[in-house]
Amino acid sequence: MFNKKTEPASDMRPAVQVVSGGVYFGIIKTASPIRIEGDFKGIIFCTNKVIIDKKASVNGDILCHEIVIGGVIEGNVICKSKCVLSEDAIVNGVVRTCKFENGENSSVTGPVYVNKENMNIDVEEYYELFNKKETLEKIKSEYFSLPQKLILIN
């Protein structure tokens, strides 16, 4: 008679944000959207959208559903859906995606593979491949001496 109605839990997850100031390093694995505003070194696995701000830099690989790049990426970008390079964006690595757009003065130094088959990329499979102790130790040893903040989001 006086039962409380419970609302179903929302599937909305808060966005992950790497803010400017310092160097962040580690492995991010999330289903939430990500926004990188500062410097990040490591690997990003995201089954959602990744936004790299104009003043941001990423040193490492990004595997995601969709990405908008405004800054600099030193690594590979593997994207299931759409990869957008904004004006003056730089990717020093390979880009693999289903759809590709590039803005004025943007550049990619490696090959760009645009193929509808890229919709079948499994981010979880790549995560298992990269999430090995040796990879984590390598990331840790390379960036341990820098002023940094460790991120491991799952």
Give the pLDDT confidence score for residue 54 in this predicted structure.
94
Cβ distance 95 to 79 under 8 Å? yes
pTM: 0.75
d(CA 38, CA 132): 26
Q: What is the pLDDT of residue 133?
A: 55
What is the model's pLDDT at position 132? 58
> φ and ψ at 33, to 5 degrees?
-60, 150
Task: Show pLDDT as tens, one digit a residue, over the chain (154 residues).
Answer: 444 444 444 444 446 677 777 678 888 888 899 999 889 988 898 999 999 999 999 999 999 999 999 999 999 999 999 999 999 999 999 999 999 999 999 999 999 999 888 788 777 777 776 665 566 566 556 555 444 444 555 4
